[in-house]
């Protein structure tokens, strides 16, 4: 199957795209994903936004892009793909299930990045259907970061659908305990551009089925990667599974296991240590 | 007790210095120190290495940064088993940290270490006024609702406000510039001489960048590759056109051009024993020979606030059996151009050397073309605690270029009427 590439002149505005996504949510369907890549060339990193992201996610303010940062940079590109009329799933209500990102080297904020997002397969899931997107960031023609994301569109599911094998969360005493404030979703929305209402406020989350706003999965991913330090920087593959939403405000605990080559980390609720929010592996 | 051995300066790394509210406005002390340290680690292949100690500090420091240096170590690629501690001796912090690390190496208590410093004038902690602080603490202590209500009601709208820390001497209420203006006038330091020194600082620093002198002493940070304050194209006319900012009336001589600007930045220096250096394939740039500190009574007005190095240097020379002329390079920190010129004038002055230093003869003059040959704080900027590391790394590289046995003198004045000085020898 050949994939056509649609090149946008600049990063679109995520806010405007999300409005379009909401207006065109009804009536989407079909079993095929458009065979298209959406691409924006030579995106310059805004250092103020990067510094705000680094501060909010626990990275040092530096020239090196945090491992998950290209996901944030590419969010408008991915959103542009998902609001195309021929995209089969409605964006509002999509649940981020997992991401598997590979950095090939440290990326400097001064390097313009070309961002390309391609939609992958539709697959059955026991709670609906999933779609995969592949994000690729390249600098000067060299691929420096790739990421496969899986999103769930809730609906009639297939019980027989294969399940993703999530590694066991490490157990034992916490390595860190973080108090996540009620406004974390709003603060992360401001630095990431991900203004999904389920993250912002109880009043905006409730109509979408969440009694309290939930933390952005990509914030929990970034905060966990930041806590792992140098073992999850530069040339590394992280595979994160978002197993249960983190309501805001709440207190979560980081647990980690493993050493040099492979680290497994998890976030769990401090009230209910059995309740795992995220399991992440970092492999070098 | 082991016999002292020599401590070597093996390298240095700093980030370019930025002007206040410039390129590093968003960066914290910890961010900058981590960046400078990580660059040092990368350049010298120290990832995963356990060093003897990392010693650094900041002059303007938030209370949450009580373990600033240790946190920077944990954010770097050094082994997390590397211990660290913070020091603070105002603008002498970086040089004092170097002396401490070198001493431990000399005594065999450590084989390697990093000395450094960092300061941000942009990301400064903000403090509430003292009266409000006391009332808020009383509110925190209150146990009953009645006590709490009483304490809360005591807070008046007029108590509200914030205070940004400044460079004011606590006991005199005067800024460093105001102090220096008094000293400069007492010594008759002219505007022309100050502007000339400032011009030389910019030209020397620019020339050093041009010849790649800083290539292995610096890591770019947040888009900066050179010191933000550097004005390679500045001219005597431009400097002469600036209005005076310290001192009063016709006798005022100090301008924004011949005074250091508030700056942000961080620096680090790698030190080690000769054996440790050899094991790690590192060649010493210079040997740390000796250090000395001094303080003056600026509170009574007996001596100028920034003149303590004038007292420290002769003590150091006497201990080492050297004269002021026995040096190939002099690094005298340019807090203000007039600080350098007053210090040099004091050493040339028979009365000062006799009455104040107790010497039979003046220390004499130095060859001015050996002074701050790759620029100093007037051009580079002066993030207080980061200046010592900048100077030590710069001088070590200069001495290494000059050859084994060459000698350099470092002099740094500091708030509180203090001064830190040191001698390095080329390796």
The neighbour count for residue B358, using CB atoms within 10 Å, is 8
Residues of A in contact with B75 (CB under 8 A): 60, 229
Shortest Cα distance from A37 to chain B (angstroms)? 32
B118-127, B218-227, B397-406: range with lowest mean pLDDT: B118-127
Could you tell me the CA-to-CA distances from B314 to A192, B55, B179, B362, B381 in Å, in that order? 58, 27, 23, 10, 27
**Does A278 lie in the same domain as A178?**
yes
**Does A129 lie in the same domain as A192?**
no
As given in the structure block, the two tokens for residue B242 are 């600036």
**Does A154 lie in the same domain as A22?**
yes
**Does A151 lie in the same domain as A18?**
yes
Rounded Cα distance, B407 and B422, in Å: 11
Mean pLDDT computed over B224-232: 96
Identify any residues that bridge with A18 across adjacent strands, giving them in sequence order.
Answer: none
Mean pLDDT computed over B316-343: 98
| pLDDT over 80 (residue B3) | no
- How does DSSP classify residue B6? P
Rounded Cα distance, A20 and A18, in Å: 5
Residues of B in contact with A106 (CB under 8 A): none
Question: pLDDT value at position B93?
Answer: 98
The neighbour count for residue A192, using CB atoms within 10 Å, is 25
**Does A16 lie in the same domain as A152?**
yes
Rounded Cα distance, A133 and B427, in Å: 58
- Give the number of beta-carbon pairs within 8 Å between A and B: 35
As given in the structure block, the two tokens for residue B360 are 């039979």
Q: Does A112 touch chain B (CB under 8 A)?
A: no
Tally of domains within chain A: 2
**Does A160 lie in the same domain as A82?**
yes
As given in the structure block, the two tokens for residue B362 are 């003046």
Residue B222 to residue A230, Cβ atoms within 8 A: no
Q: Does B81 touch chain A (CB under 8 A)?
A: no
**Does A172 lie in the same domain as A44?**
no
Question: End of a domain among A107, A137, A164?
Answer: A164
Angle in degrees, CA A150, A40, A79, rounded to 5: 40
Tokens 């940290």: give the residue.
B97
| pLDDT over 60 (residue B1) | no
Question: pLDDT value at position A158?
Answer: 87
Shortest Cα distance from B11 to chain A (angstroms)? 22
- How does DSSP classify residue B384? G
Question: pLDDT value at position B183?
Answer: 95
Q: What is the 3-state secondary structure (H, E, C) of A210-243?
A: CCCCECCHHHHHHHHHHHHHHHHCCCEEEEEEEC
Could you tell me the CA-to-CA distances from B123 to A230, B92, B262 in Å, in that order? 25, 21, 12
Cβ within 8 Å of residue A264, ≥6 positions away:
A167, A169, A170, A256, A257, A258, A279, A280, A281
| pLDDT over 90 (residue A2) | no
User: In terms of Cα–Cα distance, which of A134, A135, A123 is closest to A89?
Assistant: A123
Give the model's confidence band at A7: pLDDT under 50 very low, under 70 low, under 90 confident, else very high. Answer: very high
Average pLDDT, chain B: 94
Cβ within 8 Å of residue B23, ≥6 positions away:
B221, B222, B223, B224, B228
**Does A104 lie in the same domain as A88?**
yes
Pairing state between β A113-125 and A128-139: antiparallel
Report the percentage of chain A scoring pLDDT > 70: 100
Question: End of a domain among A95, A129, A164?
Answer: A164
As given in the structure block, the two tokens for residue A283 are 């492999």
Residues of A in contact with B28 (CB under 8 A): 61
| pLDDT over 70 (residue A4) | yes
User: In terms of Cα–Cα distance, which of A255, A226, A181 is closest to A58?
Assistant: A226
**Does A143 lie in the same domain as A5?**
yes
A47, A60, A230 ranked by CB distance to B77: nearest? A230
Question: End of a domain among A122, A146, A164?
Answer: A164
**Does A196 lie in the same domain as A155?**
no
Residues B138-149 have pLDDT tens digits of 888 988 999 889
Residues A167-215 have pLDDT tens digits of 999 999 999 999 999 999 999 999 999 988 899 999 999 988 899 999 9
Could you tell me the CA-to-CA distances from A225 to A196, A265, B68, B383 in Å, in that order? 22, 9, 22, 31
Residues B189-219 have pLDDT tens digits of 999 999 999 999 999 999 999 999 999 999 9
Kindly name the residue from B44, B91, B202, B333 that is annotated as catalytic. B91
ipTM summary value = 0.84
Mean pLDDT computed over A141-148: 97
Write the CATH number for A75. 3.10.129.10
Question: pLDDT value at position B268?
Answer: 98
Mean pLDDT computed over B82-86: 98
Residues A44-78 have pLDDT tens digits of 999 999 999 999 999 999 999 999 999 999 999 99
Rounded Cα distance, B277 and B286, in Å: 12
**Does A118 lie in the same domain as A27?**
yes
Q: Number of C-alpha atoms within 13 angstroms, CB side, residue B225?
A: 6
Rounded Cα distance, A253 and B177, in Å: 50
Q: Which residues of B47-62 are buried (b: 16+ CB within 10 A; e: fewer)?
A: eeeebbbbbbbbbbbb
| Beta strand residue intervals within chain A, DSSP E | 4-8, 36-43, 95-103, 113-125, 128-139, 142-154, 176-180, 236-242, 250-258, 262-269, 276-283
Kind and range of the H or E element at A191?
A: helix A184-192
| pLDDT over 80 (residue B110) | yes
**Does A133 lie in the same domain as A196?**
no
| pLDDT over 60 (residue B2) | no
Rounded Cα distance, A239 and A283, in Å: 9
Question: pLDDT value at position B360?
Answer: 95
Question: pLDDT value at position B160?
Answer: 78
Question: pLDDT value at position A275?
Answer: 87
| pLDDT over 90 (residue A231) | no
Question: pLDDT value at position B248?
Answer: 84
Mean pLDDT computed over A97-119: 97
Could you tell me the CA-to-CA distances from B273 to B279, B284, B292, B425 in Å, in that order? 10, 9, 21, 15
Residues B4-52 have pLDDT tens digits of 899 999 999 999 999 999 999 999 999 999 999 999 999 999 999 999 9
Question: pLDDT value at position B166?
Answer: 65
Average pLDDT, chain A: 93
* pTM, 2 dp: 0.91
Tokens 């590979």: give the residue.
A102
Residues B280-311 have pLDDT tens digits of 999 999 999 999 999 999 999 899 999 999 99
Q: Show the domain range for A282.
A: 165-284
Identify any residues that bridge with B343 across adjacent strands, giving them in sequence order.
Answer: none
Which residue did the predictor score with more confidence, B275 or A25? B275
What is chain B's alpha carbon radius of gyration, rounded to the nearest angstrom? 22
Q: Does B82 touch chain A (CB under 8 A)?
A: no
Give the model's confidence band at A15: pLDDT under 50 very low, under 70 low, under 90 confident, else very high. Answer: confident
As given in the structure block, the two tokens for residue B22 are 């410039």
- How does DSSP classify residue B130? H
Question: pLDDT value at position B57?
Answer: 97
The answer to whether B280 is a known catalytic residue is no
Find how far residue B134's CA is from the centre of its chain: 33
Q: Number of C-alpha atoms within 13 angstroms, CB side, residue B88?
A: 13
The answer to whether B91 is a known catalytic residue is yes
Going along chain B from its start, the domains and CATH numbers come out as: 176-212+289-426 (3.40.47.10)
Question: pLDDT value at position B321?
Answer: 97
Cβ within 8 Å of residue B223, ≥6 positions away:
A47, A63, A109, A110, B23
Question: pLDDT value at position A42?
Answer: 96
Find how far residue B235's CA is from the centre of its chain: 26
Q: How are the residues of chain A apportioned to helix, strand and coil, as percentages rounded to the nearest 5?
A: 25, 35, 40
Residue A51 to residue B34, Cβ atoms within 8 A: no
Which residue did the predictor score with more confidence, B57 or A26? B57
Cis peptide upstream of residue B221 (ω within 30 degrees of 0)? no
Are A117 and A47 spatial neighbours (Cβ–Cβ below 8 Å)?
Answer: no
The answer to whether B413 is a known catalytic residue is yes
């Amino acid at each position: 199957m050949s994939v056509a590439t649609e090149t946008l002149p600049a990063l679109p505005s995520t806010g405007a795209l999300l409005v379009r996504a909401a207006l065109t949510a009804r009536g989407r369907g079909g079993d095929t994903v458009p065979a298209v890549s959406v691409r924006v060339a030579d995106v310059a990193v805004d250092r103020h936004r990067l510094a705000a992201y680094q501060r909010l996610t626990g990275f040092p303010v530096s020239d090196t892009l945090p491992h998950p940062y290209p996901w944030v940079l590419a969010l408008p590109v991915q959103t542009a793909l998902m609001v195309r009329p021929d995209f089969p799933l409605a964006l509002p209500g999509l649940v981020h299930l997992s991401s598997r990102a590979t950095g090939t080297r440290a990326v400097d904020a001064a390097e313009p990045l070309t961002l390309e997002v391609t939609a992958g397969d539709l697959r059955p899931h026991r709670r609906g259907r999933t779609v995969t997107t592949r994000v690729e960031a390249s600098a000067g023609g060299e691929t420096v970061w790739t990421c496969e994301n899986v999103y769930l569109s809730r609906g009639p599911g297939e019980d027989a659908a294969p399940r993703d094998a999530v590694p066991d969360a490490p157990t034992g005493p916490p390595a860190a305990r973080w108090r996540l404030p009620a406004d974390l979703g709003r603060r992360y929305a401001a630095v990431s551009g991900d203004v999904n209402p389920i993250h912002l406020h109880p009043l905006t989350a409730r109509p979408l089925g969440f009694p309290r706003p939930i933390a952005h999965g990509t914030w929990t991913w970034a905060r966990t990667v930041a806590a792992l330090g140098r073992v999850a920087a530069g040339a590394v593959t992280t595979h994160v599974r978002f197993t249960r939403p983190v309501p805001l405000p709440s207190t979560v605990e980081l647990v980690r296991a493993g050493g040099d080559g492979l680290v497994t980390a998890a976030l769990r609720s401090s009230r209910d240590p059995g309740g795992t929010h995220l399991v992440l592996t970092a492999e070098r | 007790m082991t016999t002292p051995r020599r401590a070597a300066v093996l390298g240095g790394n700093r980030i370019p210095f930025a002007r206040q509210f410039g390129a590093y406005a968003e960066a914290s002390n910890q961010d900058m120190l981590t960046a400078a340290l990580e660059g040092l680690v990368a350049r010298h292949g120290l990832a995963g290495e356990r060093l003897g100690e990392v010693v650094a500090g900041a002059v303007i420091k938030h209370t949450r940064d009580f373990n600033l240096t240790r946190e920077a170590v944990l954010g770097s690629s050094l082994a997390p088993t590397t211990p660290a501690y913070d020091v603070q001796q105002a603008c002498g912090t970086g040089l004092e940290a170097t002396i401490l690390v070198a001493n431990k190496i000399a005594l065999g208590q450590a084989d390697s270490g990093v000395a450094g410093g960092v300061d941000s004038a942009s990301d400064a902690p903000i403090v509430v006024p003292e009266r409000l602080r006391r009332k808020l603490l009383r509110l925190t202590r209150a146990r009953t609702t009645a006590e709490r209500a009483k304490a809360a009601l005591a807070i008046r709208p007029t108590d509200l406000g914030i205070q940004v820390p400044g460079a004011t001497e606590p006991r005199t209420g005067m800024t460093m510039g105001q102090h220096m203006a008094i000293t400069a006038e007492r010594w008759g330091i002219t505007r022309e001489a100050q502007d000339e020194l400032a011009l030389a600082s910019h030209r020397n620093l620019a020339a050093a960048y041009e010849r790649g002198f800083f290539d292995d002493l610096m890591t770019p940070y947040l888009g900066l590759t050179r010191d933000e304050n550097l004005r390679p194209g500045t001219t005597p006319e431009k400097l002469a056109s600036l209005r005076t900012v310290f001192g009063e009336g016709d006798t005022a001589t100090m301008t924004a051009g011949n005074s250091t600007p508030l700056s942000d930045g961080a620096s680090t220096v790698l030190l080690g024993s000769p054996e440790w250096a050899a094991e790690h394939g590192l060649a010493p740039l210079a040997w740390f020979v000796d250090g000395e500190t001094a303080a003056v009574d600026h509170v009574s007005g007996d001596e100028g606030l920034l003149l303590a190095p004038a007292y420290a240097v002769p003590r150091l020379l006497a201990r080492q059996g050297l004269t002021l002329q026995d040096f190939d390079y002099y690094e005298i920190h340019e807090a203000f151009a007039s600080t350098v010129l007053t210090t040099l004038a004091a050493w040339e002055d028979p009365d000062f050397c006799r009455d104040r230093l107790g010497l039979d003869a003046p220390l004499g003059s130095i060859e001015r073309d050996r002074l701050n040959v790759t620029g100093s704080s007037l051009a580079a900027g002066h993030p207080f605690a980061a200046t010592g590391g900048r100077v030590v790394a710069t001088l070590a590289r200069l001495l290494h270029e000059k050859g084994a046995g060459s000698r350099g003198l470092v002099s740094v004045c500091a708030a509180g009427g203090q001064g830190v000085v040191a001698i390095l020898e080329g390796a």
